[in-house]
Amino acid sequence: MKRELIWHVSGTLVGSSCEIGRKNRKFWKLLVSVEGGYLTVYVRADELLPVAASLEAGDVLEASGTLKPHADISNAARPLFVDNPSVLRKLPSDS
């Protein structure tokens, strides 16, 4: 049995910021409006950083990835990062 969570989100980008995390690693923080509220997606996969940088508020996007369990319960509260293998792409707008 595989022990991982496969997640997928699509919504409208509300805002974004480029930040430096632990170990001096760059990541993008994307605030996404979804049905019923908001989610934050963290993008740190090197090949997806340019995609995250090109997104603008109002863009419709989708992101997906996997989350593997952590051996230590204290690490279970860490945020979901878009790492490999993952998807991050801008969707066509309705207009």
Dihedral over alpha carbons 75, 87, 54, 91 (to 10 degrees): -130
Model confidence over 41-63: pLDDT tens digits? 888 888 889 999 999 999 999 98
pLDDT at residue 77 tops 70: no
> Does residue 50 have a cis peptide bond before it, meaning omega lies within 30 degrees of 0?
no
Q: Could you identify the residue written with the tokens 């496969």?
A: 6
Q: Give the least confident one: 22-26, 30-34, 79-83.
A: 79-83
pTM here is 0.79
Interval 55-78 mean pLDDT: 80
Q: How far is residue 37's CA from residue 39's CA, in Å, rounded to a whole number?
A: 7
